Amino acid sequence: MTDVVRARWTDDIHDEWIRNLLAKRPDLTPVQLGRTRILMNSHDRDCLVTGYEDLIESLVLPDPGDRHVLAAAIRCGATAIVTMNEKHFPAEALSVYNVECLHPDDFIADLIDLHEEVVCAAAKKVRSRLKKPSADDRRISKRIAAMWAH
């Protein structure tokens, strides 16, 4: 663990990503994704946010179904929500709570800018664990190696 980022989520967020991924990837099973959920939760004893439900009704977002995400962010004191669904988390709705919405690409780019050596070392460690890396994995590894060389 690098302690550069403190990822937080809820059981509702888990349920949502699992449901969406199963709809898009019929080759995956609930058991496989349940294992991923368990592994994610074992990452850090404080990664699972609870006690946010009382905030949901008072929040206003373009999609009311996303209010649970903002409520959890507020409850745990998060500074950012990392999502590709940026239009559902407008800056004017989040800024009141000192939370920003970041696209995953921007989040990673910021991490690399701020902690290049730590991010590269973590990426190399994860890459080394792959038993059968895909072509994409090999291409990413080359990019990481090139960054590390600088």
In tens, the pLDDT along 67-89 reads 999 999 999 999 999 999 999 99
Strand partners, 101: 81
Question: pLDDT for 6-62, tens place per residue?
Answer: 899 999 999 999 999 999 999 999 999 999 999 999 988 889 999 999 999 999 999
Helices (H), 1-134: 11-24, 30-41, 53-56, 67-76, 91-94, 104-128
C-alpha closest to that of 7 among 35, 34, 43, 37: 43
Assess contact for 8 and 76: CB atoms under 8 A. Answer: yes
Indicate if 93 and 117 belong to the same structural domain. no
pTM for this model (two decimals) = 0.81
46 and 18 together in one domain: yes
92 and 50 part of one domain: yes
- Number of domains comprising the chain: 2
For 125, the domain range is 104-150
Residues 38 and 80 occupy one common structural domain: yes
Indicate if 2 and 40 belong to the same structural domain: yes
Q: Are both 5 and 53 inside the same structural domain?
A: yes
User: Do residues 3 and 32 both lie within one domain?
Assistant: yes
80 plus 134 within the same structural domain: no
Judgement on whether residues 42 and 111 belong to the same structural domain of the protein: no
Domain shared by 35 and 19, yes or no: yes
Burial 75-114 (b: 16+ CB within 10 A, else e): bbebebbbbeeeebbeeebbeebebbbbeeeebeeebbee
